[in-house]
Amino acid sequence: MVSAHSYTVILDRDKTINDDPGYLNDPAKVALLPRAAEGIRLLNQFGIRVFVASNQAGVAKGLITPEQLAAVNERIVELLAKEGARVEKIYVCIHGDADNCDCRKPKPGLIRQIIAEQKIDPLKTFVAGDRARDLECAIDFKIRGILVGDDEKHEPANMVLRAANLFEVASYVLEAVFEEESHRKVHASATAFAPELEKTRASGKKVVFTNGCFDLVHSGHVQLLAQARALGDYLVLGLNSDRSVKALKGPSRPVNNETDRARILAQLPYIDAVVIFDEDTPIELMKKIQPDIQVKGGDYIKEKLPEYAVMRELGKEIVILPFRKGYSTTGILARSGSK
Ligand SMILES: [Zn+2]
């Protein structure tokens, strides 16, 4: 299951979360921007951590007292709380340009402090703000940035999106998190998968292997995969590459390319790893994986399978599981009128 808990979003304050009349020093004048609380709440709901990093040079200039700054921050927290949204901590630089501190954005000090104090992973972090400097302060840490609004014309090198508001920021972050987390299960080759497999074996898990094209995933596939997983502790799915699907099923297949097929399968909770393979049979892949059990879905006679000799030599088991009757990708295509 995808977990978003290890991700973090660091937000600018003025013109990102709240409106800014300039040197905001009166809590009564605090107003949240449209969809700001909704966006923060959405991140909260997925367990994504939210912090604020804000330049407040008004303090150095004597336009905002430290007490006023605290009162304004408190008011923002209070207004967010009314909408069920929460920021964990607000980090502030109170210096002006003349102070030449390390924390005034675009300098990296505030971000460095958050990384150290909160023990966050920069590669699982996003920054968002209305100014280029809100993004630039995070470039050294390879943190991705989202510009909010269209006031800023300069687009920093780490910008991945321009969003209208924090709801759009949250939507983008969620999409990226789910994509990344499911992608962790997908391996482009047996070689790329070797370190992960070694770890799995070392932890004493019983490895189950099955393979196929999974072009248009149907309930027969899903049930077979759930059953395969129930036979052991760790299910590896060998996924035929686009080239090998074409070789097996003809030039009009696959309907979905290997990237999409892998993406769909990786979202299934009982699949632990997807490995794409390019050969016509999974034999080479199986020699490398050496599964404890191979599951074959369909009407097969064990002894007639090309992989039978390999599994026998390894002293491992093949389990034939019948497909649910009436379910096949070919059948779906026939019903839809394509071939
Ligand atoms: Zn500073």
Ligand 1 centre to CA of 163 (Å) is 27
Q: Are residues 138 and 18 in the same domain?
A: yes
Ligand 1 centre to CA of 77 (Å) is 22
Look at residue 338 in the predicted model and tell me its pLDDT.
67
Ligand 1 centre to CA of 103 (Å) is 4
Q: What is the pLDDT of residues 286-312, one digit of tens each?
A: 999 999 999 998 878 888 888 888 889
Ligand 1 centre to CA of 32 (Å) is 25
Q: Are residues 82 and 209 in the same domain?
A: no
In a domain, 193, yes or no: yes
- Any idea what the CATH number is for the domain that residue 197 is in? 3.40.50.620
Q: Are residues 63 and 167 in the same domain?
A: yes
Domain end among 133, 166, 182: 182
Q: Are residues 36 and 56 in the same domain?
A: yes
Ligand 1 centre to CA of 292 (Å) is 58
DSSP 162-197: EESSHHHHHHHHHHHHHHHHHHTTEESSHHHHHHHH
Ligand 1 centre to CA of 144 (Å) is 22
Ligand 1 centre to CA of 276 (Å) is 49
Q: What residues have a C-beta under 5 A from ligand 1, the ion? A: 93, 95, 101, 103-104
Q: From CA 279, how far away is CA 10, in angstroms rounded? A: 45
In a domain, 142, yes or no: yes
In a domain, 3, yes or no: no
Q: Over 60: is that where the pLDDT of 339 sits?
A: no
Look at residue 324 in the predicted model and tell me its pLDDT.
78
Ligand 1 centre to CA of 94 (Å) is 6
Domain end among 130, 155, 182: 182
In a domain, 1, yes or no: no
Q: Are residues 22 and 166 in the same domain?
A: yes
Q: From CA 138, how far away is CA 119, in angstroms rounded? A: 15
Split into its structural domains, the chain has a count of 2
The answer to whether the beta carbons of residues 18 and 33 sit under 8 Å apart is yes
Helices (H) and strands (E) in the chain, counts: 13, 12
Q: Are residues 326 and 197 in the same domain?
A: yes
Ligand 1 centre to CA of 117 (Å) is 17
Q: Are residues 52 and 173 in the same domain?
A: yes
Domain end among 164, 182, 200: 182
In a domain, 70, yes or no: yes
Read off the pLDDT band of 167 (50, 70, 90): very high
Ligand 1 centre to CA of 9 (Å) is 20
Ligand 1 centre to CA of 13 (Å) is 15
Read off the pLDDT band of 330 (50, 70, 90): confident
Q: From CA 68, how far away is CA 309, in angstroms rounded? A: 78
Q: Over 60: is that where the pLDDT of 198 sits?
A: yes
Q: Are residues 159 and 205 in the same domain?
A: no
- Any idea what the CATH number is for the domain that residue 155 is in? 3.40.50.1000
In a domain, 2, yes or no: no
Q: Are residues 194 and 323 in the same domain?
A: yes
Q: Are residues 83 and 220 in the same domain?
A: no
Ligand 1 centre to CA of 91 (Å) is 10
Ligand 1 centre to CA of 95 (Å) is 4
Q: Are residues 177 and 300 in the same domain?
A: no
Domain span holding position 325: 186-336
Look at residue 137 in the predicted model and tell me its pLDDT.
98
Q: What is the pLDDT of residues 224-265, one digit of tens each?
A: 999 999 999 999 999 999 999 999 999 999 999 999 999 999
Ligand 1 centre to CA of 69 (Å) is 15
Ligand 1 centre to CA of 110 (Å) is 8
Q: Are residues 191 and 71 in the same domain?
A: no
Q: List, in sequence order, every beta strand (DSSP E) within the chain.
A: 8-11, 49-55, 89-93, 125-129, 144-148, 159-163, 186-187, 207-212, 234-240, 273-277, 293-297, 317-321
Q: Average pLDDT, stretch 187-213? A: 93
